[in-house]
A and B are shown apart, each in its own frame.
Chain A
Amino acid sequence: MSYRFFVNGDAVEVDVPGMRRLLDVLREDLALTGTKEGCGEGECGACSVLLDGAVVDACLVPICQVDGTSVRTVEGLGSAEQLNDLQAAFLETGGAQCGICTPGMLMAAEAFLATSAASSEESIRDAIAGNLCRCTGYTKIVEAIARTAAQRQAADPRPA
């Protein structure tokens, strides 16, 4: 079967079995290896991507359900030369250590930042509760997201 969707703004078409996981399509068919596999059962969040803006585990989404949607992965954020504000905040606070949870963590954080007007520590922790990190104790990750939320809020204050 052929499936068409957008990845980071680019239209793509893949001819693969409909039950192939979005994770495998990204990593193997599209060579976008920034999205990681940590468990294959929706427990660790390392494969988090945005599907029409909502954060999902790419290991649990068959490609037949991606047809016609828009997917955003870590490759769609800033580049290594020009990190986006969230990536820069992770770099400066120390929110990335081994880096394997980082792409998924960034995508969960982007989903949170895009939809949430409030950014209490508790709401940040809730937003990334599906993304396991074994290095940081989450302290600096929460700090990086809080900092980005404050910066974006200051740049584009939304009505309460």
Chain B
Amino acid sequence: MTRVLPPGTSELSAPDPLVVPPATRTPGRIGRLPLRREGPAKLTGLARYADDLVFPGAWYGATIRSTEPHATLLAIDLNEAFDWSRVVVVTAADIPGDNVVSLMRDDQPILVPVGGEIRHQAEALCLLAAPDRETLRAAKRHLAVRTDRLSAVFDPLESTEEFSHLEVGRGDLEAGFAEAEVVIEGTYRVGHQEQLYIENQAMIAVPGPDGGVTVHGSCQCPYYIHRALKRSLQLTDHQAVVIQAETGGGFGGKEEYPSMIALHAALLARKLGRPVRMIYDRHEDLSATTKRHPAVVRHRTGVMRDGRLVAQEIDVVMDGGAYCTLTPVVLSRGVLHAGGPYSCPNVRIRGRAMATNTPPNGAFRGFGAPQTEFAAETQANRIADALGISPLELRRRWAYREGDTTPTGQVLRESVAALEVLEAAAKATDFSRHAEQTRRAREARQSGARLASGIGLAMGWHGAGFTGSGEVHIAGTASVELTDEGIVRVLTAQTEMGQGTKTIFPQLVAEELGLEPDQVEVAPQDTSVVPDSGPTVASRTAMVVGGLIIKAARRLRAQVQAVTDHPFADSYQVFARDHGGLRVDEQFEPYPNVEFDDATYTGDAYPAFGWACAVARVDVDLDTGEVTVRDVVSADDAGRIIHPVLAEGQVEGGTLQAVGYATIEEIKLVDGRYLNDRLATYLIPTSLDAPRIEAILVEKPFSGAPHGAKGIGELPMDVGAPAVVAAIHDATGVWIHDLPATPERILAAMTGAPAPGAPGVSEPAPERGAA
């Protein structure tokens, strides 16, 4: 029942809340921290998101999309009865350069050409622009697409088309299983998840007099778009300009897809000779843009009766959808984290990413790890359950310590906080006492009881920054400059999308230069102004780019002080007046002693890992399987914390996304089309669904970064879902193997009724004439 269980009015014998209400927490420390840089603009409505930007004379753009999952595009017919003189139509034939969205592999067209292959529902076929929305609507009605349908594949396990595969491992798997006293198997499946930034995707393209184009829009990675524009529109570095507008959330969803929209807007604008607005509404955004990859993860684990972990065999299959996008990288991160933060002498993890005729999946906070870590943690909790060992105690035995070796052969030399986060979360929640309490309540429960309370624990790890040699390949450059006017300015391509880039960068630079944070400016994320410091993804901003600007600031300080012979803060304005400006560019250099072999997939997969442990408490309505997640405590180590309020915000927000992933966020498909394509059907938690969340920040610095920071953005996303599923088990006695753990799945597990279908796999098209 809706609102049957508002916090504080439980009919349970009232277990203590794990989290105290925020109002009763001790205030403090906020006074010393800089406030969110762009906060006042956001709080007053002054901040300009893409759809708030006005370009006089701009037309409205629209995308015509496929309504079949697999077909040959035969023709695009314009009805001659309609007046097309006030409409611009762009097809694949209008693309001057390569018809590919430049990313990893050249498989995804900007627009499907006539005669070409449509590979998924909602794929872009052609573009329209009109001076007003009424004309645009009418034009859409007078355009028809002819196709020849082909057979479609929806289940990645049945697909024969592979995007990538990999294997990592160490030890002797057979020997490990031979030694094991108990072998436990499990198959776990997770479906799609939508990023659901509240600002829909949006791009506005403005043609320039030199044949170039400037694109303003909502994005994480301006230089991805810059590269895509140059290649497909045949532009020079200077002809293509990308300017980030204020961005209303990304979570990975605005990593690669904005390139597609920018290309569409730019193609229309160049043909039209006027600005074109390409603003998605929620329906289009949900229908067409990327989601988290569905996955099937199989575990076979060998343990001794005393709990010792001796063998792990893990098989990961991810559904990439119809095009490659970033899938091989998502798969590799998923595989690298699939064993969990546990030391195992004999381990083999195999992964493959398959193509299906569903919209392409892409980046989403966690990037493959939430899928495989849900499986790893649920497997670990099932093992604890089977062995009669507490899940806390099992992890005390299994968790990585410094000096341990990961499946890629990486020796974890430093900054390993697995045990610290575990103990911090267990202590803060009094886990053992609560677990004992819910166990007793479960045993004493009488038939006909309505509500059951449960507590669950999960831990996780998350490699900070790019996988393997990623950072070396990117070789990003960030700059700090002293302008001629005597202003200190940070220049990076790192975007602000809510996480706090524009607040922590000035903070870091100010600390090096002895200034106040508000004395340091941040240059706009405009490719004509800032260098390519790499994309704003992979929890790399604070650690990698933060490190670059610290080094740049140190060099700037040294150069100024060498001339003025006074502390930087006292002399930089004089320096600028007398000598003019000075800019220091700092390019990424590999972290010392971090080596990875891309060919064999061995070595240091990440320079450092973040560590997390979540404890969740739930109430389950035993009549209906409805779950109320009451409290989640998440202890996260992201190295040295730069700004605790912003860091807590990352943990709290990531935790709720994980709770949504665990409980209600679900996409069903028919004929390869998402049925949950509106906000009335794709549901995320409201404030009443959200648990009280407490973030505990554990600081285990990483020596490779000058400030000791690791990444925090993705880490909390990895641990919330398995903690909730463990708590559901504690309450009900049933293990849910498929996410989301909907009431339908929970009730089916409790009653032995058939479970709903596999998450993420489309139902076939209804047969014609069927009811």
Contact = CB atoms under 8 A, between A and B. Distances in A.
B532 to A, nearest CB: 23
Contact of A83 (B8, B40, B199, B693): B40
Contact of A38 (B6, B198, B247): B198
Interface residues of B, number: 64
Given A40-B282, A100-B49, A135-B498, A125 B43 contact: no
A70 interface: no
Interface of B: 3, 6-9, 21-23, 30, 35-36, 38-49, 51-52, 54, 195-200, 246-251, 281-282, 497-500, 645-646, 648-649, 652-657, 678-680, 684, 686-688, 690, 692-693
Contacts of B678: 39, 41, 43
Contacts of B38: 99
Given A139-B692, A143-B23, A129 B687 contact: yes
A100 B656 contact: no
A48 interface: no
Contact of A134 (B246, B251, B655, B693): B251
Given A99-B38, A142-B687, A133 B8 contact: no
Contacts of B645: 93-94, 140
Interface in A106-136: 106, 120-122, 124-126, 128-136
Contacts of B680: 41, 43
Contacts of B249: 97-98, 100, 134-135
Contact of A44 (B7, B648, B679): B679
A75 B45 CA distance: 6
B45 A34 contact: yes
A143 B49 CA distance: 26
Nearest to A28: B54
B648 A94 contact: yes
9 contacts: A32-B45, A41-B679, A99-B47, A100-B199, A121-B7, A135-B249, A136-B649, A137-B655, A137-B656
A25 interface: no
A27 B52 CA distance: 8
Interface string A8-42: 00000000000000000001000111111111110
**Of B49, B645, B652, which is in contact with the most chain A CB atoms at under 10 Å from its CB?**
B652
A146 B23 contact: yes
Contacts of B656: 136-138
Contacts of B39: 90-91, 96, 99
Given A40-B281, A102-B42, 11 more contacts: A36-B49, A36-B198, A37-B51, A39-B678, A73-B45, A75-B45, A97-B653, A98-B250, A125-B688, A134-B684, A135-B653
A137 B693 contact: yes
B44 A83 contact: yes
A154 interface: no
A74 B499 CA distance: 22
B23 A38 contact: no
Contacts of B49: 36, 100
A98 B247 contact: yes
Nearest to B197: A134
Given A97-B653, A147-B23, A132 B686 contact: yes
B370 to A, nearest CB: 15
Nearest to A102: B42
B43 A132 contact: no
Interface centre among A32, A106, A134 (most CB of B within 10 A): A134
Contacts of A32: 45
A96 B36 contact: yes
